[in-house]
Amino acid sequence: MSTEASLLQRRRPLTAAELGVIPWLTVLQPDERERAVADLKITDAKPGDFVCRTGRPVTYWFGLVDGLLKMSADNIDGQTMTFTGVPPGGWFGEGTALKREVYRYNIQALRKSLVAGLHVDTFHWLLDHSIGFNRFVMRQLNERLGQFIAAREIDRMGNPNIRVARSLAALFNPVLYPGLGAVLRITQQEMAYLVGLSRQRVNEALTKLASEGAIAVEYGGLRVLNLQALRTGMF
């Protein structure tokens, strides 16, 4: 059985607490919200599970309620290029859903995660009926464009410290991940998967960033103390 089929079988309605962390529900009118809530489903993804896979047709617009995901693609040489991580609060794939095309990237769970989904037909219904939803999606697309431009720059960087700093800054985007706050639950190994460096090199970079006051390494995660320093590499 494929991962996607298994995830589909485990789907269920969202609890009130899970609905409460979905940012775009707050911009909907009562009838729009009622339709969206009736359609929303959530499932648990295990480490290594693929939520989306290259070449598969879009069926849902996805968001992460809890856990950590990785967005990546394989090039013609079989090498994997990681675009970004997706922390809790992030919704992704709106461009693919808008065009109703196949995915051009993979979304994979790095740890046990709760992934919510809105069917693509309901996604388009909201686009046709909700001004607030349209504004939310437009803002998402604009931020996503900037994120991918930054990801290309990060991929070409030779300085591992700046590479880790810029990758961390991308995970703390307040528009794409509004519910994250100042602390991200992430291990050094998970960070290594996202930035394409060894765990030891990531550890060295995080130690440097902490010594410069940009972050604080806490039990089970990282606290950002100076987001602007991470974005600019000025530390």
Q: What is the pLDDT of residues 17-70, one digit of tens each?
A: 999 999 999 999 999 999 999 999 999 999 999 999 999 999 999 999 999 999
Q: Rounded to whole angstroms, how far apart are CA atoms 87 and 66?
A: 8
Q: Domains in the chain, please, with CATH?
A: 3-151 (2.60.120.10), 158-232 (1.10.10.10)
C-alpha distance from residue 192 to each of 74, 94, 202 (Å): 17, 27, 6
Per-residue pLDDT of 83-140, as tens digits, reads 788 999 999 999 999 999 999 999 999 999 999 999 999 999 999 999 999 999 999 9
Q: pTM of the full predicted structure? A: 0.87
pLDDT band at 146 (very low <50, low <70, confident <90, very high): confident
Q: Residue 116: which region, alpha, beta or left (left: phi > 0; alpha: psi -120 to 50)?
A: beta
Question: Other C-beta atoms within 10 Å of 47: how many?
Answer: 13
CB-based contact 85:194 (threshold 8 Å): yes
Dist. CA 21–CA 122, nearest whole Å: 19
